[in-house]
Copies of this chain bind each other. A is one copy, B any other.
Amino acid sequence: MLHLYDYLASGNGYKVRLALRLLGRPYRLTELDILKGETRTPAFLAKNPNGRIPALELEDGTVLWESNAILFYLADGTRLLPTDRLLRAQVLQWMFFEQYSHEPYIAVMRFWLHYTGLDEDKLRQRAKKMEGGYAALAVMESRLAAAPYFVGGALSIADLALYAYTHVAHEGEFDLGRFPAIRAWLARIAAEPGYAPITAG
Determine how close the nearest CB of chain B comes to the CB of A133; give it in whole angstroms.
Answer: 13
Quick check: A143 and B92 within 8 Å, CB to CB? no
Quick check: B76 and A96 within 8 Å, CB to CB? no
A62 at the interface (CB under 8 A from B): yes
A66 at the interface (CB under 8 A from B): yes
Chain A contacts with B in 67-119, Cβ cutoff 8 A: 67-70, 72-73, 76-77, 85-86, 88-90, 92-93, 95-97, 99-101, 103-104
Quick check: A70 and B97 within 8 Å, CB to CB? no
Q: How far is the CA of A67 from the CA of B76 in the complex (A)?
A: 21
Chain B contacts of A92 at CB under 8 A?
66, 68-69, 72, 92
Copies of this chain, how many? Answer: 2
- Of A70, A88, A93, A97, the most chain B CB neighbours within 10 A belong to A93
Contact count band on A: 35 or more
Tell whether A85 pairs with B99 under 8 Å between CB atoms, given A65-B93, A93-B64, A104-B104: no
Quick check: B101 and A50 within 8 Å, CB to CB? yes
Quick check: B139 and A50 within 8 Å, CB to CB? yes
Determine how close the nearest CB of chain B comes to the CB of A95; give it in whole angstroms.
Answer: 8
A175 at the interface (CB under 8 A from B): no
Quick check: A68 and B96 within 8 Å, CB to CB? yes
Chain B residue nearest in CB terms to A89: B73
Option from B76, B90, B100 in Cβ contact (under 8 Å) with A100? B100
A-side interface residues toward B, CB under 8 Å?
49-50, 58, 62, 64-70, 72-73, 76-77, 85-86, 88-90, 92-93, 95-97, 99-101, 103-104, 121, 124, 139, 142-143
Identify 21 residue pairs between A and B in the complex whose beta-carbon atoms are under 8 Å apart, listed by A's number: A49-B139, A49-B142, A49-B143, A50-B139, A64-B86, A64-B89, A67-B96, A68-B92, A69-B92, A69-B95, A69-B96, A70-B89, A72-B88, A72-B92, A73-B89, A76-B88, A99-B99, A100-B103, A100-B104, A121-B124, A124-B124
